[in-house]
Amino acid sequence: MNYADRLENVAVLGAAGKMGSGIVLLTALEMADLSLDPQNKGRTFALNAIDVSSAALAGLTKYLRAQVLKTAEKKVNALRKAYESREELVENEEIIRQYVEDVVALIRPTTCLEAASEATLVFEAVNENPDLKVKLLSRIEAANAKKPWFLTNTSSIPIHELDEKVGLGGRIIGFHFYNPPAVQKLVEVIRAESTAPELADFAGQYAKRLRKTVVPSCDMAGFIGNGHFMRDALYGIAEVEKLCPEHGFVGAVYMVNRITQEFLVRPMGIFQLVDYVGLDVCQFILKVMNDRLPNAVLHSDLLDRLIGLGVKGGQFADGSQKDGFLKYEKGRPAGVYDPEKQVYVPIAEIAARADAKLGALPASAKPWKAVVGAPDRPAILEAFFKDLKSSQTMGAEMAVRYGRYSKAIGEGLVKDGVAATAEDVNTVLLTGFYHAYGPVNPYFD
């Protein structure tokens, strides 16, 4: 079975979710391109987009139409060529419309898991819940006589564990997209020891065709991305707990969030990132890691407490941010949650006092956006962090400690064998998290 054969009948589980919808989009585009290849004339490609929510599937179709249209508009040159033989399609608009129709036509939204029984390739992107994943994969495996290959989008669960529990005999590989899959360049590919080599080859080819940057991660819970992120976030939470007595909870969250964003030149503060991923998702991932990694305490009572209070973060169906640690107005943090009073305190009421405590940023500070776009990025960062290190302010000192801790996490991932090299860790943070620099760096030494 060659690459195109494998993609002739695909099932995506959790198709209408945040990750699933992106996977459906990218895979459908790839399948459509295959179907337009004259070599594949007459073949029918089908993508079964499976989700428990019928309402969410309706939203998925809308999302896909809009996204495929955007993609088509960008690649009209290639599409004009692909539809060369269709005499009736002359103008860009006609060709673009036809392409959108062709892509959407191969997607079959359904709430029935049985739709996966003919699939030769199954993408799994359901909740980060090991039992749920095992249950669904087992049901498909039982009903599908085609011995399908499974690609799981898990961001933390060891692949070998899923392989063993479902009894796939190596027909599974970790293919972890970053959110949103259509935009993020990074894919962590996780091969279990048992993973079939042909499947690993396929995953490599598929990632390449999608023009993704692949970083291989060892099959250990959390992999590289969450291996760093979870520890980084727990450190932030521990810092909040330290600051709490003097500055109060909301002040402490504001301070740590600001340090991780502005002082460390990151695209967003650590609590904004936790909100973006979702507190509940973080809780799931921490549990997966905590249960499986020896000698590690990866748990947060604070997260449990906030989730208990209904503070979950994540995104609405339209992609806008739900409130979590922070409250958002037009996508920007506007308040901080106070679990005692169970209300959001406006940042305007917190900032002045907290900022005074943190002290001013060195004059060489530049926002993340300006730094990532600058051609002389390393020089800018070096100068800024040098100033930061010589700065005596509380903010600067906390930031330098944070930077060092982040580096230690990165080095720990290499030492534990999760990442093959420090460069792989840096690539994950640079491309998957959009950091301006990798955690393993000399800036804070």
Partner 1 sequence: MTKPRRKVFMTAGYNTISLGTGRKEFNPKKPRPGLEEYIKEAGQGTLKQIGGGDKVDEGVIGNFMAARFNKQGHLNAFIPSVDESLRWKPCIRVEGACASGGLGLMTAVKSVLAETADVVLTIGVEVQNTVKAIYGADILGGAGWFRGERKKGHAYFFPAGFSDRAGVYFEKYGRERTRKAFARWYRNAVENARLCETAQEYHNTCPDLEALAMTEPNPKSFVDYLTVYDCSKVSDAAAAIAVVSEKGLERAGIPKAEAVEVLGWGQVEADLTLPPSDPTRLETTARAVEKALAMAGITAADLGTVECHDCFTISGVLSMEAIGLAKQGEGPDYILSGATSRTGAIPFNTNGGLIGWGHPTGGTGVRQAVTVWHQLTGKAGKWQVEIKPERPYGLSVNMGGNDKTVVAIVYRRAG
What is the smallest separation between the CB atom of 42 and partner 1, expressed in angstroms? 24
Is residue 85 close enough to count as binding partner 1 by CB under 8 A?
no
DSSP per position, 416-441: TTSSSSHHHHHHIIIIIS--SS-SS-
In the list 77, 295, 390, 392, the residue contacting partner 1 (rule: CB under 8 A) is: 77
Per CB under 8 A, the segment of 89-97, 182-190, 196-204, 235-243 that binds partner 1 is 89-97
What is the smallest separation between the CB atom of 67 and partner 1, expressed in angstroms? 16
Per CB under 8 A, the segment of 33-41, 91-99, 291-299, 421-429 that binds partner 1 is 91-99
What is the smallest separation between the CB atom of 205 and partner 1, expressed in angstroms? 21
User: Looking at this protein, which amino acid is placed at residue 335?
Assistant: G
SS3 assignment, position 53:
coil
Nearer to partner 1, 80 or 185 (CB): 80
Nearer to partner 1, 80 or 287 (CB): 80
In the list 91, 193, 246, 301, the residue contacting partner 1 (rule: CB under 8 A) is: 91
Is residue 76 close enough to count as binding partner 1 by CB under 8 A?
yes
Q: 322-334 burial by CB neighbour count: b if 16+ within 10 A, else e? A: bbbbbbbeeeebe
Per CB under 8 A, the segment of 76-84, 134-142, 167-175, 316-324 that binds partner 1 is 76-84
Own/partner pairs, 134-142, CB within 8 angstroms, 24+ separation: 134/162, 134/165, 134/166, 136/13, 137/162, 137/166, 137/168, 137/172, 138/165, 138/166, 138/167, 139/113, 140/11, 140/13, 140/113, 140/116, 141/166, 141/167, 141/168
Nearer to partner 1, 74 or 147 (CB): 74
Whether the bond between 378 and the residue before it is cis, its omega within 30 degrees of 0, is: no
What is the smallest separation between the CB atom of 329 and partner 1, expressed in angstroms? 20
Is residue 82 close enough to count as binding partner 1 by CB under 8 A?
no
CA angle 74, 369, 258 (to 5 degrees): 135
Per CB under 8 A, the segment of 45-53, 58-66, 73-81, 322-330 that binds partner 1 is 73-81
Per CB under 8 A, the segment of 33-41, 70-78, 131-139, 327-335 that binds partner 1 is 70-78
Is residue 237 close enough to count as binding partner 1 by CB under 8 A?
no
**How far is C-alpha 303 from the geometric centre of its chain's CA atoms?**
20
CA distance linking residue 386 with residue 298, whole number of Å: 32
Q: What residues contact 14, with CB distance under 8 A and at least 6 apart? A: 20, 50, 51, 124, 125, 126, 127, 153
Per CB under 8 A, the segment of 85-93, 362-370, 413-421, 436-444 that binds partner 1 is 85-93
- Per-residue binding string, partner 1, 92-111, x by CB under 8 A, is xx--x---------------
Is residue 374 close enough to count as binding partner 1 by CB under 8 A?
no
What is the smallest separation between the CB atom of 79 and partner 1, expressed in angstroms? 8
Per CB under 8 A, the segment of 83-91, 185-193, 223-231, 337-345 that binds partner 1 is 83-91
CB atoms within 10 A of CB 5: 13
Nearer to partner 1, 5 or 101 (CB): 101
Nearer to partner 1, 92 or 364 (CB): 92
Nearer to partner 1, 74 or 369 (CB): 74
In the list 80, 353, 357, 401, the residue contacting partner 1 (rule: CB under 8 A) is: 80
CA distance linking residue 253 with residue 354, whole number of Å: 10
In the list 74, 146, 332, 341, the residue contacting partner 1 (rule: CB under 8 A) is: 74
Is residue 381 a contact partner of residue 443, using CB atoms and an 8 Å limit?
yes
CA distance linking residue 223 with residue 177, whole number of Å: 12
Nearer to partner 1, 75 or 292 (CB): 75
Site for partner 1 in 298-327 (CB under 8 A): none
Judged by CB under 8 A, how many residues of this single chain contact partner 1? 11
Helix H, strand E, coil C: the string for 215-272 is: EEECCCCCCCHHHHHHHHHHHHHHHHHHHHHHHHHHHHHHHHHHHHHHHCCCCCCHHH
CA angle 141, 142, 145 (to 5 degrees): 75
- 41 burial type by CB count under 10 A (0-12 exposed, 13-18 middle, 19+ buried): exposed
Which residues are at the interface with partner 1 (CB under 8 A)? Answer: 73-74, 76-77, 80, 87, 90-93, 96
